[in-house]
């Protein structure tokens, strides 16, 4: 057994719900390693939605910047994270900082690591739309993060190709799969029955459409279009129920309440913990979303997904046939969903379990790479 001072110090930094879900398996895997001292810093760019995940995966952060403010701006998040991380990085003195994906916490975390000349490992590296403003600000967050990172943990071969095209040296890119599949497999193994009173009101004998929608570039007219399309669907189909756990962003909540508030068979509920949410997805007929993570999870569960965005950085599941890009126009979204609800053959073609994103062992691979790179 080595002394604490000989251990590799790894500091993981994250702040939002999806980062927490995707980093949790990796953190718990790092903690099993005797020769690694794994510490966790949350920026708490999200608060309640982050804490739900920390509780489920039993992660107690060593540092909590607690930066979230209602209706926070990108500048506020970036500057609070950068300032808050000064003292944390000084105290933790890590050999490597791990950040995840494409949020503003990700970019500010990578920048703070760079300012302290600490090595950076980017988990979920190499996703690109190549459109600076879509998704906004995620496309630039992940591109800039990629260019200051030292280790690039790419989920898919295509992600690796994207990085190579940008001149990232091949020997710094590691094909690992996506840790979301690690989290999904671990979570779906556990028995779970719904206890949320809102979910108990849903008639699961009907066909369930699970909806999530929160992207900044969809706020406003596009989000209105998406929500009107949902209303149109309930008018045409009496055998569907829509379950929509609404993101805590006040801007999303007000548009949802205004357009979907009093519609029969549309359940606007609070964000669900990860376990009930996975169960809800697995009981759904169809998923309509602009989320990144759902595009990776739903195909693994064999659930067709309509992505209500103009483009996606996750084309793998589209190519595999379980995801379709539905755009952000009311009529097109309605028609695409209507066809899947009417035509069983078309539905069955999409509803097959495919999983281009990993085998549940991404965290193992990342830990092995870190150990080898630091001489263990």
Binding residues for ligand UDP, rule: CB under 6 A, are: 17-18, 21, 212, 214, 245, 271-272, 274, 277, 291-294, 297
Nearest distance, CB of residue 31 and ligand UD1, angstroms: 24
Cis, peptide link before residue 135, omega less than 30° from 0: yes
Residue 253 within binding range of ligand UD1, rule CB under 6 A: no
3-state class (DSSP) for residue 95: coil
Q: Residue 150 — left, alpha, or beta (φ > 0 → left; ψ -120 to 50 → alpha)?
A: alpha
In the complex with ligand UD1, which residue's Cβ is closer, 7 or 46?
46
Number of alpha carbons in the 13 Å side-chain half-sphere of residue 110: 26
In the complex with ligand UDP, which residue's Cβ is closer, 89 or 260?
260
Residue 137 within binding range of ligand UD1, rule CB under 6 A: yes
Q: Which of 124, 98, 122, 104 is nearest to 179 (CA)?
A: 124
Residue 138 within binding range of ligand UD1, rule CB under 6 A: yes
Distance CA 73, CA 16 (A): 15
Nearest distance, CB of residue 138 and ligand UD1, angstroms: 5
Distance CA 326, CA 344 (A): 19
122 is annotated as an active-site residue: no
In the complex with ligand UDP, which residue's Cβ is closer, 17 or 152?
17
Catalytic annotation, pick one of 17, 247, 267, 330:
247
Nearest distance, CB of residue 98 and ligand UD1, angstroms: 17
Supply the angle between the helices 179-189 and 17-31 in degrees, to the nearest 10: 80
In the complex with ligand UDP, which residue's Cβ is closer, 284 or 291?
291
147 is annotated as an active-site residue: no
In the complex with ligand UDP, which residue's Cβ is closer, 21 or 65?
21
CB pairs under 8 A, 24+ apart, for 324-329? 324/350, 326/288, 328/218, 328/222, 328/225, 328/226, 329/225
3-state class (DSSP) for residue 347: helix
Do 282 and 301 form a contact (C-beta atoms < 8 A)?
yes
Site for ligand UD1 in 53-112 (CB under 6 A): 68-72, 74, 77, 102-104
247 is annotated as an active-site residue: yes
363 binds, among ligand UD1, ligand UDP, none (CB under 5 to 8 A by kind): none
Do 288 and 211 form a contact (C-beta atoms < 8 A)?
yes
Catalytic annotation, pick one of 19, 64, 138, 290:
138
Catalytic annotation, pick one of 29, 214, 265, 314:
214
The owner of tokens 């980093």 is: 23
Residue 312 within binding range of ligand UD1, rule CB under 6 A: no
In the complex with ligand UDP, which residue's Cβ is closer, 8 or 98?
98
Nearest distance, CB of residue 356 and ligand UD1, angstroms: 20
116 is annotated as an active-site residue: no
100 is annotated as an active-site residue: no
Residue 358 within binding range of ligand UD1, rule CB under 6 A: no
Nearest distance, CB of residue 178 and ligand UDP, angstroms: 11
Q: Which of 273, 262, 314 is nearest to 292 (CA)?
A: 314
Active site residues: 102, 124, 138, 214, 216, 247
């Amino acid at each position: 057994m080595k002394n604490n001072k000989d251990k590799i110090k790894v500091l993981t930094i994250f702040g939002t719900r999806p980062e927490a879900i995707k980093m949790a398996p990796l953190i718990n895997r790092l903690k099993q390693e005797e020769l690694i001292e794994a510490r966790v810093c949350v920026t708490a760019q999200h608060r309640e939605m982050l804490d739900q995940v920390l509780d489920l995966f039993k992660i107690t952060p060593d540092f909590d910047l607690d930066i979230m403010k209602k209706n926070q701006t990108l500048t506020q998040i970036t500057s609070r994270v950068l300032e808050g991380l000064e003292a944390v990085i000084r105290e933790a003195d890590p050999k490597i900082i791990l950040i995840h994906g494409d949020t503003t916490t990700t970019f500010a975390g990578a920048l703070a690591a760079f300012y302290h000349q600490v090595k950076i490992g980017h988990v979920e590296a190499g996703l690109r739309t190549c459109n600076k403003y879509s998704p906004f600000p995620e496309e630039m967050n992940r591109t800039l993060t990629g260019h200051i990172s030292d280790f690039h943990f790419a989920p898919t071969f295509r992600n690796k190709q994207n990085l190579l095209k940008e001149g990232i040296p091949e020997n710094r890119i590691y094909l690992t799969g996506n840790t979301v599949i690690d989290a999904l497999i671990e979570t779906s193994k556990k028995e779970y029955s719904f206890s949320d009173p809102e979910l108990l009101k849903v008639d699961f004998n009907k066909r369930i459409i699970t909806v999530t929608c929160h992207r900044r570039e969809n706020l406003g007219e596009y989000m209105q279009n998406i929500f009107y399309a949902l209303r149109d669907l309930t008018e045409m189909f009496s055998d569907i129920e829509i379950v929509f756990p609404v993101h805590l962003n006040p801007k999303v909540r007000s548009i949802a309440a205004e357009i979907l508030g009093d519609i029969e068979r549309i359940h606007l509920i609070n964000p669900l913990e990860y376990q009930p949410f996975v169960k809800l997805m697995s009981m759904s007929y169809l998923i309509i979303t602009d989320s990144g993570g759902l595009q990776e999870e739903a195909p693994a569960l064999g659930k067709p997904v309509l992505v209500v965005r103009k483009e996606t950085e996750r084309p793998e599941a589209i190519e595999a046939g379980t995801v379709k890009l539905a755009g952000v126009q009311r009529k097109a979204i309605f028609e695409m969903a209507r066809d899947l609800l009417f035509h069983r053959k078309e539905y069955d073609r999409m509803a097959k379990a495919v999983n281009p994103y990993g085998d549940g062992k991404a965290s193992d691979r990342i830990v092995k790479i870190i150990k080898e790179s630091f001489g263990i």
